[in-house]
Amino acid sequence: MSLIVTGSIGIDTIETPDGKKADSVLGGSSIYFAAAASYFGDVRLVGAVGEDFPEAFIGDFKHFQVDTTGLEIRKGSKTFRWHGKYMENMNDRETISVDLNVLAEALPPVPEVYQDSAFVFLANTHPAGQMALLENFPKAKLVVADTMDLWINTEKETLLNLMKKIDGLVLNDSEAELLTGESNVIVAAEKILELGPKFVVVKKGAHGAYLKHAGGACALPAYPTKQVIDPTGAGDSFAGGMMGYLTGADDLSFESLRKAIAYGTIVASFNIEDFSLGRLKTLSREELDKRYAAFCEMLTI
Amino acid sequence: MSLIVTGSIGIDTIETPDGKKADSVLGGSSIYFAAAASYFGDVRLVGAVGEDFPEAFIGDFKHFQVDTTGLEIRKGSKTFRWHGKYMENMNDRETISVDLNVLAEALPPVPEVYQDSAFVFLANTHPAGQMALLENFPKAKLVVADTMDLWINTEKETLLNLMKKIDGLVLNDSEAELLTGESNVIVAAEKILELGPKFVVVKKGAHGAYLKHAGGACALPAYPTKQVIDPTGAGDSFAGGMMGYLTGADDLSFESLRKAIAYGTIVASFNIEDFSLGRLKTLSREELDKRYAAFCEMLTI
């Protein structure tokens, strides 16, 4: 089975409350997703960067064996840049500067060889863009999308149309509340299923995740970790681990989805242990499986 | 084994954001604790109320078969009263009025027949009071205390002395941060163990609980529930379920503690389904065990 991700690729500058700073590092939703998913099989990437995109970052794609046939290096354009700073709680953050650059231009073309992709993840971007990208995958067996508060506030109608065409939605708890008007995550998740998707995963950061599916519901805690260096990409690596597992298992039952969010939880717990892809670059599948087993054991009451 | 709880007994008035109100209902930390613990065996209660304490509430103690030998109805005194209102998120609350009344007077005497109590829970009160009460239980096998932000802010030294004499501490996440200066729950829990207790349970409300013990660590989610009518007593009923289970099992291993916080989670999930003890009054042990089994199954990945 083939997994594809469409989404942002960026150059990030990240500051954390302990005074640490990572300057101009590789980032973007599809990057964290692809690196995380790569532990479970091949990942295809569709995204655009500018001429300024560092050669070294292409090496990172190779490290994770990401299929970059769909990576467009656009002449005359610049790469998306984001500069953010985390607050003391390592959860809230402020954007110091953002330059959309190539993200504000036309969508990258989807290579024809990608049209047989069976598992599709539409990482966070304008819902009209997600809708347009989705049309390139007529053989999709599972389509999951992420979204954010900006689109819920400004493009709700388009987002609601998208939700009728996807199988799963991944979003965080404040976004689930914004979308449904319900502060209780359990109620909000039920309301989201009424909008179209067959399942929803509500990410709660350090508080874990909640899965609602016709076959059941499941709340899982985050993996208890002391070492939180940089939370950037936690949600995207969670989604990457989840979709990577599902693609490998080729099983869309509730039980399989539960295993998938557990794997997502574990990949995300590694991702936050360093800036950018620093920790995932040194992570082995053995380490991943070992922590996954410890997580399952922790929850065996 | 015998379980004893010392703490407040009150008459509460509670308002919730949907406009509902419960006027002058039975409340107080030791009440919720005792009702929850009663599912697992006998519970002894030490506490004082005033002459105004309604006869009907004594009937509630009988319903849960709480041993009220240690209940003092103090002549010339009035019962502790609290009037609170929950915010839209059903987590934060404001105190509209509070009358300490008998809680501001001398501690109730501990009956001699209670001195063989093996499992002791010092529900939230002034740490000097907790320390004085503790001296009445020379045969205690397990002593666990709860505390709150007020004592961390105003009586920290006394609280730190108490912590050297107890086996376990139960507190919520904001209190753990206040006590240790650490916003990461995992780090805060480690620091608390350095202060004396053998284990600590950090309650995170709708986000579950975290247990740290020499034998291991465990994060559990809350039981996913839509029906949150009144969160008052959630933490106390959690502690009651936990201590009730431990007393019945007479096993203080990490594995037993994990089961205990799972039972606490489940009793608390019922408690919040109605005002005061409304839901626990109709709850059977069979219902409790059924939800406990569903919770364990939910976490079997």
Q: Residue A88 pLDDT more than 90?
A: no
- What is the pLDDT averaged over residues B226-237? 94
Q: How confident is the model at residue B227 (pLDDT cuts 50, 70, 90)?
A: confident
Say yes or no for a CB contact (<8 Å) between B186 and A225: yes
Measure in Å the smallest separation between the Cα of B153 and chain A Cα atoms. Answer: 21
User: pLDDT tens-digit profile of A219-271?
Assistant: 999 999 988 999 999 999 999 999 999 999 999 999 999 999 999 999 999 99
How many CB atoms within 10 Å of residue B271? 29
Res A67: pLDDT:
97
Model ipTM value: 0.93
**Chain A environment of B192 (Cβ under 8 Å):** none
Residue A188 has pLDDT above 90, yes or no: yes
**Among the residues of A164-233, which ranges form H helices?**
173-180, 185-194
Tokens 């998306």 belong to A80
Q: Does the pLDDT of residue B163 top 90, yes or no?
A: yes
Q: How far is B201 from chain A (nearest CA, A)?
A: 14
Chain A environment of B186 (Cβ under 8 Å): 224-226
Task: Say whether pLDDT at A125 is over 90.
Answer: no
pLDDT at A89 over 90: no
Please report which confidence band the pLDDT of residue A177 belongs to, taking 50, 70 and 90 as the band edges: very high
Chain A positions in Cβ-Cβ contact with residue B301 (cut-off 8 Å): 220, 258-259, 262, 295-296, 299
Q: Does residue B105 carry a pLDDT above 90?
A: yes
Q: Is the pLDDT of residue B91 over 90?
A: no
Average pLDDT over residues A108-133: 95
How confident is the model over A32-36, as a mean pLDDT?
98
Mean pLDDT of B200-205: 96
- A278: burial class by Cβ within 10 Å (0-12, 13-18, 19+)? middle
Cβ atoms of residues B195 and B163 within 8 Å: yes
Contact at 8 Å (CB) between A196 and B191?
no
Report the candidate in A278, A290, A299 with the shortest Cα–Cα distance to residue A14: A278
CB–CB contact B217 A224 (8 Å): yes
pLDDT of residue B86: 93
Give the mean pLDDT of chain B: 95
> What is the mean predicted confidence (pLDDT) over A9-16?
96
Query: pLDDT: is A190 or B183 the higher one?
Result: A190
Quote the CA–CA distance of A289 and A33 in Å, as a whole number.
18
Q: What is the pLDDT of residues B125-160, one digit of tens each?
A: 889 999 999 999 999 999 999 999 989 999 999 999
Please provide the average confidence, as pLDDT, over all residues in chain A: 95
Percent pLDDT > 70 in chain B is: 100
Identify the pLDDT of residue A150.
87
Q: A184 vs chain B: nearest CA distance in angstroms?
A: 7
* Domains recognised in chain B with CATH numbers: 3-298 (3.40.1190.20)
Cβ(B103)–Cβ(B82) below 8 Å: no
Show which residues on chain A lie within 8 Å of chain B, measured between beta carbons: 88-90, 183-187, 190, 204, 206-208, 210, 216-226, 228, 258-259, 262, 295-296, 298-301
Categorize the per-residue pLDDT at A48 as very low, low, confident or very high, splitting at 50, 70 and 90.
very high
Are the Cβ atoms of A298 and B187 closer than 8 angstroms? no
